[in-house]
Chains A and B, each alone.
Chain A
Amino acid sequence: MVTQTRNMLLNVGPSHPAMHGVIRLIMELEGEKIKGVDVEIGYLHRAFEKMCETVMYAQCFPYTDRLNYVSPLINNVGFAMTVEKLLGIDVPERAKYIRVIMSEISRVTDHLTCIGASAMELGAMSVFLYMIKAREYLYELVEEITGARLTISYVRIGGVKADLTAGFVDKAFQKIADVRKVLIEVDELLTRNRIFFDRMKGIGTISADDAIAYGITGPFLRSTGVAYDVRKANPYLIYDRLDFEVPTGTTGDNLDRYFVRMAEMEQSLRMIEQCFQQIPDGAVSGELTGCLVPAAQMVDRAKMGQTEDLIEDEVDLDPTLQGGTKRYHDAINADQKDVVLPAKENTYGNIEGLMNHFKLVMYGHGIRPPVGEVYFPVEGANGELGFYIVSDGRDLPWRVRVHPPCFPIMAALPKCLVGGMMADMVSTFGSVNMIAGELDR
């Protein structure tokens, strides 16, 4: 009698706790060894690119929030800067610094989530809780500025929605210190942890040549020793004025990716601190000269023609609109009336501001870039996040394409997995930091 061995096909996902959302891996196993992997994506496809073609430029921001939902601010910045490149406009210094501060906060939240989740999948539950605690500190900062935690839609074409609040700098320094404490704790828990070390070292290895051939960017590429970072290679905003390093690994395994992410978080925190030292002054809350008038009252007074005393007054707004009133407006928005919404006092208090507002929000009017096409990359938390926009001169984009950093990594996933053990799939997949929102769009 002849014994026969056959490979087994195992279907992992789309509903599997280790699949971070919705991915299906069809694995060919010989015992517990992985012989082949077929990656199936698309379960979270929401037609981002198609929907962007149906709305005006400014209305795309809520969609971009939902691309990478652990660092939505970077997506906002990327999209806004692509449209600004298309329009050929620049934003004020203060807005640039605010964008960098918010992007770096988001990068830290993203890395915290990634390391926390992948450590949890290896059994280190307390690390996950510590990381989520640290992420919470940063989300509180994000919430204070943007009014939301996740679907923030904070960046505007030509600027940002709101200025920093009074006392934000002190709060931010406090939170950064708190996050650093957590990072030290986590470092003690994980870096010399035998179980964690053994399960990460030499697992999921990819060579630098393969990573480049597959178009991989971000921490995944840097873990192989290639120091490519958009913030260094093509500096945008004010990254060229900041002093930071690009941490790299050597072997391109899971452990290196963990080290790269840990080091990057420290660099991001450093960058935020430098930004606070360099940022030009804006208006400070509390230096109000006129009275604070509720929005409805201001509109009523303006309708009745009592506009003389409105010039000094400031409007009291709904919390989601705060921070963009006329005191702050000019420091954080470009001086482009055909792109940037006027300060709310002008919209409510005079006809020119109202017309300007409506010219920008009505279909058939809106922001109208010239005919052309641009590609603009920013460094997302997972790698190069590029937007490619084609304009036909109308108020709706003709084509919006996003280059998602996860996509090439997922294409190369079989390269990392094949030859390894089934149980190691969990740690490798965790280190990819797959975000289904940007992968499937």
Chain B
Amino acid sequence: MTPNLTTSKEQGILTPLQRVQEQFSQEVVETHAFRGDETLVIRPGALLAVAKFLKTAPELDFNFLMDLTAVDYLFFAGGRVQKEFRFEVVYHFYSLKHNHRLRIKVPVDEKDPEVDTLTGLWPSADWYEREAWDMFGIQFKGHPNLKRILMYEEFQGHALRKDYPFNKRQPLIGPQN
């Protein structure tokens, strides 16, 4: 295994966050490293370029797309915190070679929730993106087979959105409400 993050910092090598920030300074909206989780918020248009860079740059070499999900920030913190966009698509990357992780977040508008698909770079994005579409209604442009995965085709709405009541029932058979 290659040295972990703390030692590389001491040697003056850039962390993944700094490296991406240096490369895409125009596209990075915000960064933080809360509890050591390096996070970049980037503009939606730059997603494909950043993703490609993460995968191909030898000093980053993120060969795992470990997780992909979304967060709905409608009425976040009871409305006290205002977010510019309602959704954020969250990507967790992991590099087997360098043993480092990075989180990328892409803000998505409520009216036209759409981001580019990453299925061309990581096949694992296929099912994760289907789930994000199923649960949040976020479209992934270019996805080969964007259909529901956990819910059934007749399901109305997107269950993990904050305006979908948790106790709403939509059975395929039986009592409707």
Contact A399 B71 (CB under 8 A): yes
- Contact residues on B (Cβ < 8 Å of other chain), bracket: 35 or more
Contact A213 B37 (CB under 8 A): no
Instruction: Kindly state whether residue A42 has any CB partner on chain B within 8 Å.
Output: yes
- Give Cα A49 to B160, complex, Å: 8
- Give Cα A233 to B150, complex, Å: 31
Instruction: Kindly state whether residue B63 has any CB partner on chain A within 8 Å.
Output: yes
Set A53, A234, A408, A441: member contacting B124, Cβ < 8 A: A408
Q: Fill in one digit per residue for B18-54: 1 if any A CB lies within 8 Å of its CB, else 0.
A: 0000000000000000110101000000000000000
Instruction: Kindly state whether residue B57 has any CB partner on chain A within 8 Å.
Output: no
Residues of B within 8 A of A392 (CB): 76-78, 81
Which residues in chain A, 99-119, are within 8 Å of chain B measured between CB atoms?
none
Instruction: Kindly state whether residue A407 has any CB partner on chain B within 8 Å.
Output: yes
Contact B71 A41 (CB under 8 A): no
Set A375, A393, A441: member contacting B92, Cβ < 8 A: A375
- Give Cα A42 to B152, complex, Å: 8
Residues of B within 8 A of A373 (CB): 34, 37, 39
- Give Cα A371 to B77, complex, Å: 9
Contact A42 B78 (CB under 8 A): no
Given A42-B149, A215-B124: A388 touches B92 (CB 8 Å cut-off): yes
Set B34, B69, B90, B124: member contacting A372, Cβ < 8 A: B34
Instruction: Kindly state whether residue A305 has any CB partner on chain B within 8 Å.
Output: no
Instruction: Kindly state whether residue A252 has any CB partner on chain B within 8 Å.
Output: no
* Distance from A328 Cβ to chain B, minimum over Cβ atoms (Å): 29
**Count of chain A residues near B, Cβ 8 A:** 45
The B contact surface, by secondary structure, is: mixed
Instruction: Kindly state whether residue A286 has any CB partner on chain B within 8 Å.
Output: no
Residues of B within 8 A of A386 (CB): 66-67, 92
Contact A388 B67 (CB under 8 A): yes
- Give Cα A375 to B33, complex, Å: 12
- Give Cα A41 to B152, complex, Å: 10
* Distance from A17 Cβ to chain B, minimum over Cβ atoms (Å): 23
Centre residue among B1, B71, B81 by max chain A CB count within 10 A: B71
Instruction: Kindly state whether residue B146 has any CB partner on chain A within 8 Å.
Output: no
- Give Cα A401 to B127, complex, Å: 15
- Give Cα A406 to B5, complex, Å: 28
Which residues in chain A, 181-204, are within 8 Å of chain B measured between CB atoms?
none
- Give Cα A264 to B149, complex, Å: 32
Contact A53 B166 (CB under 8 A): yes
Centre residue among B67, B72, B166 by max chain A CB count within 10 A: B67
Set B37, B78, B127, B135: member contacting A408, Cβ < 8 A: B127
Contact A215 B35 (CB under 8 A): no
Instruction: Kindly state whether residue B14 has any CB partner on chain A within 8 Å.
Output: no
Q: Fill in one digit per residue for A346-376: 1 if any B CB lies within 8 Å of its CB, else 0.
A: 0000000000000000000000000111110
Enumerate the 10 nearest inter-chain pairs by beta-carbon distance, A residue then B residue, closest first.
A215-B124, A392-B77, A42-B150, A411-B127, A403-B67, A372-B34, A45-B150, A401-B69, A399-B71, A214-B124
| 10 A-B pairs whose Cβ atoms sit less than 8 Å apart in the complex | A54-B166, A215-B66, A373-B37, A374-B35, A374-B37, A384-B66, A392-B78, A392-B81, A408-B124, A411-B123
A residues sitting closer than 8 Å to B (CB atoms) are 41-42, 45, 47, 49-51, 53-54, 85-86, 88, 210, 212-215, 226, 228, 233-234, 371-375, 377, 384, 386, 388, 390, 392-394, 398-399, 401, 403, 407-408, 410-412, 440-441
B residues sitting closer than 8 Å to A (CB atoms) are 1, 34-35, 37, 39, 63-67, 69, 71-72, 76-78, 81, 90, 92, 96, 99, 101, 103, 122-124, 126-128, 135, 148-152, 159-160, 166
